[in-house]
Amino acid sequence: MANMKDKVRMLREEPGFVKLFRMFQKKYYSLSRIGGTVSLSDFTKEELTSIAGFVGKSPWELSEKGKLSLLEFEKALARSAFSEYTLLSLMEEVLQEKIVSKMEKQVKEQQEEEAFLVTLKNEIPDAEWWITHIEEKTSDTRWIWSQYKQNPSFLKEQIVLAYRGFSKLPREGQYERLPFFSQRITGNPHFFDNNELAERLLHHMMFVDQVRKGNPDLTMPRTTEELNDLLALYGLYRDDLWNFVTCQQLYASIDGSSHPVWEAAVKSKTVLNVPMKELLKIDKVWPVKGNRVWVVENSGVSSALMDRLPTVPVVCTHGQVRMAGWRLLDLLVESGATIYYSGDMDPEGLVIADKIKQRYKEKAVLWKMDVASYEKNLSNEDISERLSKVDAVQSEELIELKEQMRFRKLASYQEALVSELVQEIEGYVQDLK
């Protein structure tokens, strides 16, 4: 046996054999069997002479042919001093490594991935819904599998840590600053806010949770604003000063007593930009007159309403409803107020209106968001490429408008409705007298 090892060592030192076996290795990897041919065009005369002697051909014949079959080499191997080897086993001896095919590698990798996922499901069984999503290898999970290839053990640790954070999120209706949440979970106040792997996994878990709860059009956050919106759904906020909502003619109470700032704003007809930081202190908000609050998402339209109706309860969400906006609307509905919401009639506007209607049901009225208002103020803006966003709209009140928007493929904006909005509010205020 020692003699055979010496022969293998000598073959390893023969000109061209390691080079040839590397090429055989690539061919075996791609075909998953001994077969095919390799090119000899890059071999030197000395290398061809060495190989020719092994396969029983002249160097000239090999050079003329320009290629060598793996099966031809294996037949020559059976007649040689290395007959106890198959081509595959001899390649492994010469190259001193385990040789696998592409198919064998894929099977092995699949088995390892399955074992990895089973281990995760056993360790955090309550997260099986999320792990199953990762298992499906959708486009939003590619980066996770990339992390797996780099370091499976580290990824597993971070997944477990991310789920620990997800399982200890603030209770519904409660809020917590992200640094304090991070400190509570990991002992590091910046752990979930500095692009750590566990932070990204936590965001992904939130995203998948929202999709399974009926928000199929949601995408993984790409901007800071989108990330803040996602965190807000789970009671986490990173900036409680910049996250604000604008309002006028609303009273508020703190610890059961009237809030002096809100009371002064009502008396002086002052518009307030109220940050989340202050809204968290408030325990109740209600309109100064009646039980209706007029809510718009467009800041220009809101400002126009406030100019013309300085004694009427108006709220501006500034586009998509952020955490501060939801907090204020929640408090208003809890006090018995009804939300009259009006927004732009484009795909994004319908999605906002649908979210408000779905959240507040009969306590939300979609105001001037009907087919008649839409067709009356059509713009020339083509919204064809954005229409898929309305697929998620479920509110019965918006179905007809949604279909008309699909047909027209045009947007209709709020600015053209300001006079009508003012007239309706004035009519309601007059009836209160």
Mean pLDDT confidence for 398-422: 92
Q: How far apart are CA 410 and CA 401, in angstroms?
A: 12
Its sign, for the CA torsion 194, 195, 201, 203, is positive
Q: What is the pLDDT of residues 142-176, one digit of tens each?
A: 999 999 999 999 999 999 999 999 999 998 778 88
- Higher pLDDT: 407 or 213? It is 407
User: In the chain, what percentage of residues exceed pLDDT 90?
Assistant: 65
Q: Which of 338, 339, 342 is closest to 297 using CA atoms?
A: 342
pLDDT value of position 432:
77
Interatomic CA distance for residues 366 and 341, integer angstroms: 5
Integer Rg of the chain from CA: 35
Q: How far is CA 156 from CA 112, 151, 201, 220, 318, in A?
A: 13, 9, 11, 21, 40
Burial code (b: 16+ CB inside 10 Å, e: under 16) for 42-80 equals ebeeebbbbbbebbebebeebbeeeebbbeebbebbeeb
The token pair that represents 117 in the structure block? 């996922």
The pLDDT value given to residue 46:
92
- pLDDT at residue number 223: 78
Given its phi and psi angles, is residue 36 left (phi above 0), alpha (psi -120 to 50 degrees) or beta? Answer: left
Q: Which tens digits make up the pLDDT trace of 87-103?
A: 999 999 999 999 999 99
Average pLDDT over residues 220-237: 82
Residue 366, SS3? strand
Residue 394: what residue type? Answer: Q
Q: Kindly state the tokens that stand for 131.
A: 């792990």
Q: Tell me the pLDDT tens digit for each residue of 279-307.
A: 988 999 999 989 999 999 989 999 999 99
* Rounded Cα gap, residues 93 and 82, in angstroms: 11
Please answer whether residues 35 and 74 qualify as being in contact, where contact means their C-beta atoms are separated by less than 8 angstroms: no
How many helices (H) and strands (E) the chain has is answered by 21, 15
Structural domain boundaries in the chain: 2-99, 103-237, 244-432
2 has pLDDT over 70? no
For the chain, helix, strand, coil in percent to 5 are: 60, 15, 30
How far is the C-alpha of 161 from the C-alpha of 181, rounded, in Å?
13
303-328 confidence digits (pLDDT tens)? 999 999 999 999 999 888 888 899 99
Instruction: For 167-211, write each residue's pLDDT tens digit.
Output: 999 987 788 888 889 889 888 888 887 678 988 999 999 999 988
| Nearest-angstrom CA–CA distance, 366 and 423 | 16
Determine which helix (DSSP H) or strand (DSSP E) holds 204, and give its type and residue range: helix 197-212
- What is the pLDDT averaged over residues 259-278? 94
CA separation for the pair 90, 104 (Å, rounded): 19
Least confident of 206-220, 286-300, 360-374, 380-394: 206-220
Question: Distance (Å, rounded) from C-alpha 428 to C-alpha 363?
Answer: 17
pLDDT for 216 equals 62
Angle at 233 between CA 227 and CA 234, to 5 degrees: 100
Over 50: is that where the pLDDT of 1 sits? Answer: no
Long-range contacts of 59-67 (CB under 8 A, 24+ apart): 65/40, 66/39, 66/40, 66/41, 67/37, 67/38, 67/39, 67/40
pTM over 0.75: no
Kindly state the greatest CA–CA separation across the chain. 112
**In Å, what is the CA distance from 402 to each residue of 211, 310, 350, 353, 359?**
21, 33, 8, 12, 19
Q: How far apart are CA 276 and CA 263, in angstroms?
A: 18
How far is the CA of 266 from the CAs of 114, 197, 340, 406, in angstroms? 62, 47, 20, 42
> What average pLDDT does this structure show over 247-273?
95
Choosing among 3.10.100.10, 2.30.130.10, 3.40.1360.10, 1.20.58.190, the CATH entry for 244-432 is 3.40.1360.10
Q: What does the pLDDT read at residue 180?
A: 87
pLDDT of residue 84 exceeding 60: yes
- pLDDT bucket at 433, cuts 50 / 70 / 90: low
CA 187 to chain centre: 26
Average predicted confidence (pLDDT) for the chain: 90
pLDDT for 10 equals: 87
